[in-house]
A and B are shown apart, each in its own frame.
Chain A
Amino acid sequence: MKSTVMTWGIRFGLMAVLCQSGMGADQKFSSGSTDPIVQFIDEQIQKTWDENEVKPSPVADDAEWVRRVHLDVVGHVPAGQVVDEFLRDKNPAKRSQLIETLLADPGYVRNFTNYWTNTLIGRVTPEKTNRPALEKFLRESFAKNRPWNEIAYDLLSAEGRFDENGAVNYLLAQLQLNPNSEEYVVEATAKTARIFLGLQVQCTQCHNHPFNDWKQNQFWEFNSFFRQMRREDYEKYNPATGRMDDDYSELVHRDFDGPVYYETRAGLMLVAYPKYFGTEVDPGSDTNRRLELAKSITRDDSNKWLARAMVNRMWGHYFAYGFTRPIDDMGPHNPPSHPELLDRLTDEFVTSGYDLKQLSRWICNSEAYNLTSKFNPKNEIDNPANGEVPLFSHMYVKPLQVEQLFESLLVATEADTAIREGGASGNYERRQMQQQNWTEQFLRIFGNDEEEPTLYSGTIPQALLMMNGPLVRTAISGEKGSYLYTVMTNPAYKKDPERIRALYLAALGRGPTSTEIKGLQSMMARYPDRVSAFQDLYWALLNSNEFIVNH
């Protein structure tokens, strides 16, 4: 029984929460899931707590958790009403049920389509790359919950027009150099290893790496798989301007056989043949090298690099830290923090048929994912932000990513409804245009750094955008249809504390504390009119540190 290692204090803390969730006092935490793999995760994580003599934080209360699981799975905060319903729900299995609901929500598809589009081609679309087509390919794949190895196979082996086969856009985005350059497929090589296999090989392009087991020859062996492709760009005549405009691009096969040549730092010229972790491929002209590589990676890899990289990446998505840091550098030089757990999850993920929803389900139902982000003296050493190895004894605070922030503002304020209903000109196109404007402004201000996903990194322009920018301004304008308007006019809210609570639920996923209510009400009393007072309260909630992070 795991609870024997817990102190009484922690047990009491846990019990209090369990009772609140309607569970028995002597039970270990359960989200409601009985999956043995979830239990295995809990055991493995518990083991490292014991080994490192940390005591986990208590289970997060429902308000904290419901906001977190929404942000992570569907990419935005829950609506106030959803929070309210969840808090009232007495079903002890309500957490696992909510996980199921969210995995079936269209928001799941949008969230992971955003995530993967950004991962594969970056937030700023490279030239002559069709972002909407790639999004469509991903959207359909995630909606059908296609196995990850099949999705990866398509992305790596795709050929054709960038509008007809959206999957080609991953490789097209990496082909930005002169096709005759020796470096033409270097980026495709490095990105594929990093994203799909969790291996960083880019430094080995030029030399053997001191901390990396990949050797320079391996880089060029891997590189040689990509030599039979090139992009072709087509233009069309524009009668209005008299110029040639971009029409479409295509990823096509090109003949290539034999070895590739590369130079060592000592100036020695060497050759490399297509070889994936010891599996050699016929270098003749009849071989479709990219197909062979796609097969090796997605079907025949005894090391399961594809699955391992995905498990680590998804763990990192939910916990802010994976089993290695960074998540996509999993070579032998960088051992994982929880090797047995990573191995088992990798095996189970493969056995499940690379089932992405199943992977999310295991993680979200685990005890660690359900802990509060508050730490205490018994686990404050578990602080990866200080460079420590993560022990997952409490949730780590994650800044919202730009898409999460945008979607959350829409949900919390129903700003899109307000725009849609905003007068005669309010129509779908207008909303789309507004959204495009906002997104562009967000991206410009929030930056686009591939090394570190774009997030609220705390700059003055970001603060100004939130304080005075159009989205929050619209949100608090109290236009008909907006959430603030509803709260101010709906007779269901009888007194100001109820209205304040409604705004808190929508923005922060929790109700106000009694101290907060008291302080805020006395401030609001000094306003000449109630509408301004509530507008400014909502302004403060949406601008708060608590809103801008996922905890």
Chain B
Amino acid sequence: MFQQGMTRRHFMSHAALGSAAVLGASEFLHHLQLNAAEVSKNRKACILVWLGGGAPTIDMWDLKPGSKNGGEFKPISTAGDLQICEHLPSIAKQMDSLSVVRSMSTREADHARGTYFMHTGFVPNPTVVHPTFGSVVSYELGTKRKELEIPAFVSIGGGGMSPGFLGMSHAPFTVDAGGRIQNADMAGVDPNRLGARLSMLETIEDGFIRSNRGDAGQAHKDVYSKAVNLMRSQQMQAFKIDSEKPEVREAYGRGGFGDSLLMARRLVEVGVPFVEVNTLGGWDLHNDVFNTLKTQRLPQLDKGIAALTADLKERGMLNDTVVVCMGEFGRTPRINQNVGRDHWATSWSVLIGGGGLKSGVAIGETDADGTRIVGDSYLPSDLWSTVAYALKIPLDTVHTSKRGRPMKIAGGGQPIKGLIG
């Protein structure tokens, strides 16, 4: 198993350096403490569980019993101070650690535009590509984690969101639910040849670097050394969920979604500050919404999110790890003629927890039919500002687009008061 936030190799090197035989026992202890402080300073992270297609949150987090829009499901009580859907019983037991924002109003009800808005905090604009929030976290936190040998923004399942003006070095590093990384191994070539290849490469590269043509040559060499470090890094083990005990894998649920969440936890454990999980799709439920939810989507979601929450808590990681679960919008309170729900961005819910945010509460409310927000409503910029706050990224951070336009982090939103209060 991993030491928390520390690779085995990293740990071994510290252990060798600080072994009690060389240093006095008190020095050794001091060294470990210093290291522990460094690790805990560096462990803030966010796991975004993406429900692509737009989940019917009115059937999950904000039920409307008694309304014509209420649908087939009943609310149940939870360990927190709110009720959720009866088909999420395991999450219900963890709700003292999680909260629901019931007053999201996000105006974009088209898949592409909603996906963009919810990931970036900015509405699409033809003149600039805003970074998805994982790229922002990679830019703000990843660059400061010198011990991190693997990319700071991992997307399990992909999804095509862009680092925008922050540049491709903050693009999501995409793997599938099996943890396979494209091109990370030498595809059958004897790995011992890598060393010889790199020696020849160095001969050629160094000549070009010395030829006085600017920085491009050295920059290229640096990236290659990072790529080689990655290929050889012990932290790559974080992608290998096979090494987990069977009962742990069972708890998360066997299958792509459970595996992804487990992998997300392992990645956060080695210091990755942002993981997006996009392996439980199929929420665009224009037809047959209740049946599909009850038999397919909700059981997987319930098992996975509940196991993740419990596991993070047990490992003492929940206070530093924000978990956000949402899609690009909610779905219409009105039930259509195909027993489905259509796109709806006016009044919907997001599940959020961990990271020291207030837990076990419902923030905001919708009216009895779920069609309107009563009181304050929130935008994705507010949601991401809340996450930034939890990750201790200063909210007055400003990034500059390639055309020199200043952009406030998270679209200049305000942290949601009920969550940080």
Contacts and interface: CB of A to CB of B under 8 A. Distances in A.
Contact of B220 (A187, A376, A536, A548): A548
Interface stretch (B123-131, B249-257, B357-365): B123-131
Interface string B211-243: 111111101111110110011000000000000
Contacts of A49: none
Interface residues of B, number: 55
Interface in A438-489: 441, 444-452, 456-465, 467-469, 473
Interface residues of A, number: 62
A427 interface: no
A203 interface: yes
Interface string A363-400: 00000000001111000000101000000000011010
Contacts of A202: 126-127
B171 A523 contact: no
B182 A513 contact: no
Question: What are the 9 A-B residue pairs with the smallest beta carbon separation, nearest first?
Answer: A545-B220, A463-B227, A540-B200, A464-B183, A468-B183, A540-B201, A546-B208, A545-B217, A457-B168
Interface stretch (B53-61, B184-192, B297-305, B385-393): B184-192
A451 B402 contact: yes
Contacts of A540: 197-198, 200-201, 203-204
Given A458-B223, A513-B207, 18 more contacts: A191-B126, A447-B163, A449-B168, A451-B165, A459-B223, A460-B223, A462-B168, A463-B226, A465-B182, A465-B183, A467-B183, A468-B185, A469-B183, A516-B203, A543-B224, A545-B208, A545-B209, A545-B216
Interface centre among B183, B193, B231 (most CB of A within 10 A): B183
A252 B174 CA distance: 41
Given A460-B230, A465-B183, A523-B196, A447 B215 contact: no
Interface of B: 126-129, 151, 162-165, 167-169, 171, 173-174, 181-187, 193, 196-201, 203-205, 207-209, 211-217, 219-224, 226-227, 230-231, 401-403
Contact of A446 (B168, B220, B224): B168
B70 to A, nearest CB: 31
Contacts of B171: 447, 459, 461
A191 B127 CA distance: 9
Contacts of A461: 171, 173-174, 182-183
B8 to A, nearest CB: 21
Interface in A528-542: 532, 536-537, 539-541
Given A464-B227, A468-B187, A532 B193 contact: yes
A373 B212 CA distance: 8
A464 B225 CA distance: 11
Contacts of A375: 212-214
Nearest to B163: A447
Contacts of A399: 216
A170 to B, nearest CB: 14
A460 B220 contact: no
A545 B204 CA distance: 8
Contact of A536 (B196, B226, B401): B196
Contacts of A168: none
Contacts of B198: 540
Interface of A: 186-187, 190-191, 200, 202-203, 326, 373-376, 383, 385, 396-397, 399, 441, 444-452, 456-465, 467-469, 473, 513, 515-516, 519-520, 523, 526-527, 532, 536-537, 539-541, 543-546, 548-549, 551
A544 B184 contact: no
A383 B214 contact: yes
Nearest to B128: A451
Contact of A546 (B127, B187, B204): B204
A519 B207 CA distance: 12
B251 to A, nearest CB: 32
18 contacts: A186-B126, A397-B213, A441-B182, A444-B174, A447-B168, A448-B162, A451-B401, A451-B403, A457-B167, A458-B169, A463-B226, A464-B182, A464-B227, A467-B183, A516-B207, A527-B196, A536-B193, A545-B209
Given A459-B171, A523-B200, A467 B193 contact: no
A539 B168 contact: no
A225 B181 CA distance: 49
Nearest to B193: A536
A168 to B, nearest CB: 19
Contacts of B221: 545
B224 A326 contact: no
A385 B213 CA distance: 12
Nearest to A399: B216
Contacts of B219: 458
B208 to A, nearest CB: 4
Contacts of A385: 214-215
A127 to B, nearest CB: 9
A399 B185 CA distance: 25
A551 B126 contact: no
Contact of A468 (B186, B207, B220): B186
A468 B188 CA distance: 10
A202 B405 CA distance: 13
A450 B129 contact: yes
Contacts of B217: 545-546, 549
A545 B217 CA distance: 5
